Amino acid sequence: MDSVSYDTRDPRPTTTRSSRHGGRVRALATEAVHAGREDLAGQGLHAAPIDLSTTYPSYDSRGEAARIDAFATDGAEPQGPPVYGRLGNPTVARFETALARLEGTESAVAFASGMAALSAVLLVRNALGLRHVVAVRPLYGCSDHLLTAGLLGSEVTWVDPAGIADALRPDTGLVMVESPANPTLAELDLRAVAHACGSVPLLADNTFATPVLQRPVEQGARLVLHSATKYLGGHGDVMAGVVACDEEFAGRLRQVRFATGGVLHPLAGYLLLRGLSTLPVRVRAASSNAAELARRLTADPRVARVAYPRVGGAMIAFEVHGDPHAVIAGVRLITPAVSLGSVDSLIQHPASISHRVVDPADRRDAGVSDRLLRLSVGLEDVDDLWADLDGALGAPATRG
């Protein structure tokens, strides 16, 4: 049985250092609880308020015009009271502040979904005439499709990591990677990739790892993409996307968000801010479960191959000798569904669902076989999860 090696070390998110406050660097776990909320006590509040307003009164139309002109120039968040929901929302801004703090960036800009966030990045670069993208497979299936189909006028060159530098052109506006990758969990040396990009911005999809396990900007990425629907929300009840980046790029993203309307609803912003407060604890606990399930799957004769990232995490990819669709149909505790990163465990067959839009040959070349299953491990008892998997895998195959 072939197996991809994995590292089960405890990522210890509570000791990971984040931003500096009052001369002391706070741990990531502390920032997860407090970032974006520092002003609440001074207002006599404990929980962050939800501002559902779409518009705001203003008796100074000249001043408001000046603030809108300033936003049109560089996309900086308007100073003073809010103007209109499409320009920005105070509740969403709290989440953006907190996520930027966790990723170690100057800013973050939230969108209605992860795909809306990626689309905004592409539109920012396209507006500068930089329509060419260099990308490494595998990516999330819809990201792959968006690039391959050229739906936003972009052109993509798919390469292995070693071919990034040679694929760059004068009109290359972006290099995109995902590590650990969806769904194979393949990992890249982000520092080496960033070096190969030269002056071209590197966009790293950090959805699977989260800032608890890695911070791509520390390895040279300029942009960090999250489908916030997954681990950042963590409960399967909010859809969102976010890009963590420097303030210059954030300004351009805000302008695109304002023009295209891909805004995040304030209630989603509130749920995401709440989700971040437990992110380190959830990732640590789910990672412990996943590491143990990876061990058991690796030793199981019904399983052909197991992939579990060296960086850790709560995702497992495994190929079965038998029918993967029978496994999907056989689970009872684990939910057979798309998406990932929830407190409950989810399993899906990428070739049928998340990566169905990718050309079959490209899918196979990227390691997404027809027997591959992707398991998002949640917070249930690990023995209960294993009992469910064991039953769904069925009797061991007879070898001739």
Q: Is 205 a catalytic residue?
A: yes
Q: How many CB atoms lie within 10 A of CB 24?
A: 8
Angle made by CA atoms 295, 296, 300, in degrees to the nearest 5: 120
Report the number of secondary-structure helices (H) and strands (E) in the chain.
Answer: 14, 14
Of the residues 67, 215, 230, 371, which is catalytic?
230
Q: Using only C-alpha atoms, what is the Rg of the chain?
A: 22
- Say if strands 315-320 and 372-376 run parallel, antiparallel, or are unpaired: antiparallel
Q: Is 363 a catalytic residue?
A: no
- DSSP β-bridge partners for residue 177: 204
Of the residues 144, 205, 300, 388, which is catalytic?
205
Query: What percent of the chain is helix, strand and coil (3-state, nearest 5)?
Result: 40, 15, 45
- Tell me how far apart the alpha carbons of residues 31 and 25 are, in angstroms, rounded to a whole number: 10
Angle made by CA atoms 102, 108, 114, in degrees to the nearest 5: 100
Closest CA to 315 of 243, 374, 389: 374
Of the residues 37, 86, 295, 356, which is catalytic?
86
Q: Find tokens 């669902």 and name the residue.
A: 353
Of the residues 140, 231, 270, 308, which is catalytic?
140
Q: Is 231 a catalytic residue?
A: no
Q: Is 215 a catalytic residue?
A: no
Would you please indicate which residues are annotated as catalytic (active-site) residues?
86, 140, 205, 230
